[in-house]
Structure 1
Amino acid sequence: MAAPGYGKQSAPEQLPRSASDFAHLPAREAYIASLIDHLPDGAAMDVKTLAALQPHYGQMACRTVLNNLSTAGHLRRVRERVGSPQCRWVFRTYFSRTPRSDAWWTRFIMSGEASTPGAPDPPKERTPTRASVTPADSAASPAYAALAGLGLADARLALSAADCAALEPLAAEWLARGATPALFTAALTAGLPPDGVHSPGAFTRRRLLDKMPPERPAPASAPVPAPAARVLECTDCRTPCRPQALLGGLCRSCRGTPKAPPPRPSLSPAAVRAYAARARAAMAAPPQS
């Protein structure tokens, strides 16, 4: 494992593992990529460590493999300033078994979405397809319990299970804004019509909206976390670069982009005519014996 805060970090939203994850890569690159994919977050993945983890390829080969994996969209090197206050630079390699484009990597790294070291990606929740929630499913919800208890406080506000499920988000907002269950019940049952409530569900919804407590202000002393500074690095030479200067995670020097040739000098029309005249005169002259 690398030092705390360093090493491999898994990119989010990757596809599940399969036998064809790295089938598009050459055999050497696919082998090392599979090895990196199975390393835990925070593991060291420098060329020296990768060469020691397997018996087939040395450090120079592993360095070439990392460059090729970067070009194929599987990894990016990042230096990130962290700490409170931000006073320490850490060096991480974000890895994705799902290949990504340069634009995706730039958006992910520079937008600050990079995850905290060692923290797994949050599981994606599945949205229930049911139209309403039964009391057994909402037994643990304080908002649902507060709605169901209105009928016990005053029979004129006895709500059905469907009413409680439909009004649960509004009741939850009341509780989130600081209303206690007792205050919630008192506010909704106070001043009910003496001749009864024709539609308890609609009546309760109207009161939930009209009497909604104000939002609770954030504590003045709560510190606002400053965004972490992140700088993309060339995968090969580790030079900090602007995102636009990296193609496949490599700077121009490391990816071998040739420099533009110098512009050829241009001739004026008079000079062109003079050169043409001398050429014609030389062709018309008799050959010398």
Structure 2
Amino acid sequence: MSGHQTSAPSRAHSGRSATPSRGLHRSRERHMSEFTVVGHHLAQHENLSLTAIGLATHIQSLPDGSKVGIKDLAAKFPEGEVRVAAALRELEAHGYLERIKERLPSGRIVTRTISYDKPPHLRGQAPPEPSAVDLPPEVPRIEAKPRAPRPQRRPLRAPQPDPQEPDPGPARTAAVDLLIGLRTYDPRLFLSERDIRRLAPAAAEWLARGMAPGDVKRALTAGLPTDPIRHPAALMAHRLTAFLPPELPPRPEPLSGPPAPRRLPLQNCEGCDRAFRAEGPGSCLGCAATAVAA
């Protein structure tokens, strides 16, 4: 009686394993769509780096019109622009890539990249000229020229202060002394030299409006919060602006009245040589009376 077998019979062991015990073992799967054929001349190239071989395989899998600039490729992979640029130069040197610079009618220079699945020298022919479908035929082609290495520029550094010449700090004026002395009223009002430079003009305006330094300190420190002051400079800047007193009115001019009596000039008496006031030279009252009595 014949029976239906659900599985194929196992192979007889011949003493040799069906798969290699060492080295590579490939699990082959035939692709029906979305695949790229790569020749052994590229995949097993002896003079190309693995980065260049992988980059060439990626470029051959891209459709026409894809962007394959250094920045575009470096944005996709972790190698970075330096390694991508080096791999592209390798592919150019071995005939897998050709980069040609052309000028558009607008004057802009673009790079046209040709990828060869098989380099022309392996086919025994010269590389074909690039087609100019999107460029007018009269536009001249500009061959790529090797660029001279750019000199490395040293980063600009801010001038360092001379250690022998210390920072003089803000000029000692009445406004500066006022701001420095705020911490004597409240230790939380400690201001740096930079803050004092910035606040000194506002404090000077208070003094210019007739306020005494002590009155200014009391106005700025009155009613301070009990909580810790995290930004004393910002608090003082606000109070110097918000609490600024008005300008003093101008002094009234004196009222007009009768003119003050004019004082007569001093004269020397012709008789006793004493000084007396009179319109002109002559004798004083004593000498004049003596002369009348005589």
> Is this a same-fold pair by TM over 0.5?
no
Q: TM-score, normalised by structure 2?
A: 0.29
Larger radius of gyration: 2
- Structure that is richer in helix per residue: 1
Structure with greater contact order relative to length (CA < 8 Å, sep ≥ 6): 1
- TM-score w.r.t. structure 1 length? 0.29
